Structure 1
Amino acid sequence: MRKLAIVTTHPIQYYAPVFQLLAQRGNIDIKVFYTWSQSSLKKTDPGFGRDVSWDIPLLDGYPYEFVENTAPEPGSHHSKGIINPRLIPAITNWKADAVMVIGWAYKSHLGVLKYFKNKIPVLFRGDSTLLDEQWGLKNLLRFLYLRWVYRHIDYALYPGTATKAYFEKYGLKKPQLVFAPHAVDNTRFAANRQSEAQELRTGLAIRDEDILILFAGKFEDKKDPLILIDAFLSLAQSNVHLLMVGNGVLEARLKQKANGHTNIHFMDFQNQSVMPVVYQACDLFCLPSRGPNETWGLAVNEAMACSKAVLVSNKTGCAADLVKPGKNGSVFIAEDKESFSLNLATLCISKENLRLWGTESAKIIAGRNFTKIAQAIETTVIN
Structure 2
Amino acid sequence: MPTRPAPVRLAIVVTHPIQHFVPFYRALAADPGIELHVLYGAPIGVKSYFDKEMQSEISWNMDMLGGYSHEFLGEVPANGQSSVRAPNSPEIAPRLKAFDPDVVLVYGHAQANVYRAIWWCRRNKVPLMTIGDSELLRQRTTTTRMVKEVVVRQIFRRYSAFLSVGDRNADFYAYYGAPRDRIFRCPFTIDEITYRAAKANRAALRAEARRAYDIADDAIVALFVGKLSSRKRPVDLIEALAQTKGSRKVTALFAGNGEQMEPAKARAAQAGVDARFAGFVNVDKLPALYAAADMLVHPSQADPHPLICSESACIGLPMLLSDRVGAAGPTDIARPGENALVFPCADTAALAVLIDELAGDDTRRAAMGTRSLEIFDELDISASVAGVHRGIDTALARPR
Give 5+ residue unaligned stretches, structure 1.
Answer: none
Which residue is equivalent to 2:207? 198
1:323 aligns with 2:329: no
Which residue is equivalent to 1:306? 315
Which residue is equivalent to 1:92? 97
Q: In 2, Cα distance between the equivalents of 1:43 and 1:26?
A: 35
Counterparts of 1:340-359 in structure 2 under 5 Å? 340-359=351-370
1:239 aligns with 2:249: yes
Contact 1:72 1:81 in 2 (8 A): no
Which of 170, 188, 192 is the equivalent residue of 1:164? 170
Which of 111, 120, 128 is the equivalent residue of 1:106? 111
* SS of 1:197 mapped into structure 2: helix
TM-score by length of 1: 0.93
Contact 1:33 1:66 in 2 (8 A): yes
The one-letter code of the counterpart of 1:243 is L
| CA deviation vs aligned residue, 1:221-242 (integer Å, no higher than 9, x gap) | 2211111110011126663211
* SS of 1:215 mapped into structure 2: strand
Q: Which moved more, 1:139-148 or 1:161-170?
A: 139-148
1:181 aligns with 2:187: yes
Q: In 2, Cα distance between the equivalents of 1:21 and 1:71?
A: 29
The one-letter code of the counterpart of 1:264 is A
CA 1:326–1:86 in 2, change beyond 3 Å: closer, same or farther? closer
Q: Which moved more, 1:222-231 or 1:144-153?
A: 144-153
Q: In 1, Cα distance between the equivalents of 2:68 and 2:24?
A: 10
The one-letter code of the counterpart of 1:249 is E
CA 1:325–1:169 in 2, change beyond 3 Å: closer, same or farther? closer
1:271 aligns with 2:282: yes
Q: In 1, Cα distance between the equivalents of 2:76 and 2:339?
A: 47
Which residue is equivalent to 2:3? none
Which of 14, 29, 34 is the equivalent residue of 1:28? 34
Contact 1:3 1:30 in 2 (8 A): yes
Corresponding residue pairs, total: 380
CA 1:310–1:365 in 2, change beyond 3 Å: closer, same or farther? same
Q: In 1, Cα distance between the equivalents of 2:184 and 2:114?
A: 20
Q: In 2, Cα distance between the equivalents of 1:50 and 1:140?
A: 36
Q: In 1, Cα distance between the equivalents of 2:276 and 2:45?
A: 34
1:281 aligns with 2:292: yes
1:248 aligns with 2:223: no
1:230 aligns with 2:236: no
Give 5+ residue unaligned stretches, structure 2.
Answer: 1-6
Which of 322, 340, 345 is the equivalent residue of 1:334? 345
* SS of 2:85 mapped into structure 1: helix
Q: CA deviation at 1:90?
A: 0.5
Q: In 2, Cα distance between the equivalents of 1:134 and 1:276?
A: 34
Contact 1:229 1:258 in 2 (8 A): yes
Q: In 2, Cα distance between the equivalents of 1:120 and 1:65?
A: 20
Contact 1:99 1:120 in 2 (8 A): yes
* SS of 1:44 mapped into structure 2: strand
Which residue is equivalent to 1:218? 227
Q: In 2, Cα distance between the equivalents of 1:197 and 1:246?
A: 18
Which residue is equivalent to 1:372? 383
Which residue is equivalent to 1:37? 43
Percent identity, aligned pairs only, is: 26
Q: Which moved more, 1:353-362 or 1:219-228?
A: 353-362
CA RMSD of aligned residues (A): 2.0
The one-letter code of the counterpart of 1:263 is D
Contact 2:314 2:373 in 1 (8 A): yes
Q: In 2, Cα distance between the equivalents of 1:228 and 1:307?
A: 21
The one-letter code of the counterpart of 2:263 is R
The one-letter code of the counterpart of 1:304 is A
